[in-house]
Amino acid sequence: MARMLNDAAPRKRLRDLGVTIGRMPTGTHNAITDVAGVRVGHATIVSGDGPLHVGEGPVRTGVTVILPHEGDIGVEPLFAGSHVLNGNGEMTGLLWIKESGMLTSPIAITNTHSVGVVRDALIAYEAQRLRRPELFWSLPVVAETYDGWLNDINGMHVKTEHVWAALDAAADGPVAEGCVGGGTGMICHEFKGGIGTSSRVVSGADGGSTVGVLVQANYGARHLLRIDGVPVGELIPCSQVPGFREERARIAQREPGDGSIIIVVATDAPLLPHQCERLAQRATIGLARVGGIGANSSGDIFLAFATGNRGLPGAEDAAAEIATCRMIANDRMTPLFEACAEATEEAILNALCMATTTAGIDGRTMHALPLDWVREVCAT
């Protein structure tokens, strides 16, 4: 039976629709900021309507930043590790993280053609705003997904001031989701996508650690979408809620590809770099549960960092010779893996649930996931 599409309905997070993912409890805010010290900031850039005029708009883009702790990450690094499911994308700084096991910068997420300016802006902020004119070395972490279907991506609208504004606005507590920051122009499973977050708290018997996840979701075909195992994508055909794959294929005269997803995992568990890498891998499980397959044209890049070994010496600490750290026994990692998988799955779904219908260049419109349908077929 055909149903009316109500794009004006208020947006709600997945749990507010009565849908619970997994068995583990969430943190206070069900967000990456439930890991103590982690802060998130956005700068959202929206202007113009109608036909595309490169350099003028329409603009539907932005930048999202994650500050890994309340101190200066350049002075006090954290152990980190990464995983790449499919590499048609970019996250700068990964070579040094792989080599050293250290995260030494904030993490920024933006659109594909703004990686360079965001990277430079992070360095400038560190040298100028943090009053470190002696800064001699920095390899910032900046990741991207492509928003050129809705946004004037070649107009280079993300500027240094936007990155600095996101850094200055970074805060703990609830995190804005959906069409904000780097997620402003993103698409997920042929619905409007964007930023999403979630968290899980491991039981006290298993260490009591918190795992938080933030995603920038911009990937996936409609028919693959699953919500708590329900094939929602197959139940909402493009004839009822328009998608974009067929239109994009017609315009490009070739088969449509899939976009990308960036997943950032934070935990307060005391993990070593190789354990962070193992944790980052488990984001793949949550992505797969929603319907991500690591398509050939997709950049699926995941980063995990751990705050459980604060006080590690930085590059400028010439006096440091030996650093003492802790680690969870490898046979106690499984609960963290489960927490990462659950939080990743829910973070992606929160991005879909909180995103709003968006019109971009040339009037192209991406519709929001209809929440009444989700409540009807998934809520228990």
337 in helix, strand or coil? helix
Q: 314 is in which domain, residue-wise? A: 20-367
If you search the block for the tokens 């050129």, which residue do you land on?
148
Q: How far is it, in rounded angstroms, from Cα 365 to Cα 19?
A: 27
pLDDT of residue 130: 75
pLDDT at 318 over 80: no
CA proximity to 79, closest of 339, 350, 297, 309:
309
| Cα dihedral 282, 288, 294, 300 sign | negative
Q: How far is CA 240 from the centre of its chain?
A: 28
How many residues are listed for the chain in this entry? 380
pLDDT of residue 78: 97
Q: How far is it, in rounded angstroms, from Cα 258 to Cα 360?
A: 18
Percent of the chain surpassing pLDDT 90: 82
- Looking at per-residue pLDDT, the higher value among 8 and 18 belongs to 18
**Residue 240 is assigned to a structural domain of this protein:** yes
**Residue 7 is assigned to a structural domain of this protein:** no
**CATH label of the domain that carries residue 172:** 3.60.70.12
Tell me what the mean pLDDT of segment 39-46 comes to: 98
**Residue 12 is assigned to a structural domain of this protein:** no
Cβ-contact 89, 300 below 8 angstroms: yes
Residue 1: pLDDT band (50, 70, 90) is very low
pLDDT of residue 237: 84
**Residue 373 is assigned to a structural domain of this protein:** no
278-293 pLDDT, tens digit per residue, is: 999 999 999 999 999 9
Total Cβ atoms within 10 A of residue 63: 29
pLDDT of residue 242: 85
pLDDT of residue 113: 98
**Residue 54 is assigned to a structural domain of this protein:** yes
Q: Which active-site residues does the annotation give? A: 260, 298, 300
Q: How far is it, in rounded angstroms, from Cα 118 to Cα 129?
A: 15
pLDDT of residue 199: 98
**Residue 6 is assigned to a structural domain of this protein:** no
55-97 pLDDT, tens digit per residue, is: 999 999 999 999 999 999 988 999 999 999 999 999 999 999 9
Average pLDDT, the chain: 92
pLDDT of residue 137: 83
Residue 306: pLDDT band (50, 70, 90) is very high
pLDDT at 223 over 50: yes
Residue 2: pLDDT band (50, 70, 90) is very low
**Residue 131 is assigned to a structural domain of this protein:** yes
- Alpha-carbon dihedral 122, 126, 130, 135, rounded to 10 degrees: -170
Instruction: Report phi then psi at 266, rounded to 5.
Output: -120, 145
Strands 358-359 and 365-366: antiparallel
Tell me what the mean pLDDT of segment 183-193 comes to: 97
Residue 270: pLDDT band (50, 70, 90) is very high
Residue 316: pLDDT band (50, 70, 90) is low
**Residue 8 is assigned to a structural domain of this protein:** no
Q: How many structural domains does the chain have?
A: 1
Tell me what the mean pLDDT of segment 129-142 comes to: 80
